[in-house]
Amino acid sequence: MTRQVECVLMKKEAEGLDRPPYPGELGQRIYDNVSKEAWQRWLAHQTMLINENRLTPYQPKARKFLEQEMEQYFFGGGSEKPTGYVPPSE
């Protein structure tokens, strides 16, 4: 049986993550409150943030920025797209 959570992003009960996706208290909050589908949405958003802001994720400043954006995305008012972002055309 899969673990169900009341997803803070999707606003419905959905399949939960298999393990905390991030270390520490933030990772535990995400594990307890975020569905697999919402986590996949975050990963796509995070990729966009990395590319548009030309971040190097292993640098401490970039990691701190991404952690703050992750918290905003799930538990704040949402994470904004970078100024001037234009989605790729299909």
Residue ranges of domains in the chain: 4-75
**Number of C-alpha atoms within 13 angstroms, CB side, residue 25?**
3
Higher pLDDT, 23 or 77: 23
User: What average pLDDT does this structure show over 66-80?
Assistant: 89
The percent of residues in the chain predicted with pLDDT above 90, rounded, is: 80
Whether the Cβ atoms of residue 21 and residue 31 lie closer than 8 Å to each other: yes
CATH 3.65.10.10 holds for 4-75: no
The alpha-helical segments, DSSP class H, found in the chain are 24-33, 36-52, 60-75
Q: Count other Cβ atoms within 10 Å, centred on residue 9.
A: 18
Confidence of residue 90 (pLDDT cuts 50, 70, 90): low
pTM of the model: 0.86
How far is residue 13's CA from residue 5's CA, in Å, rounded to a whole number? 5
Residue found by looking up tokens 């990963």 in the block: 43
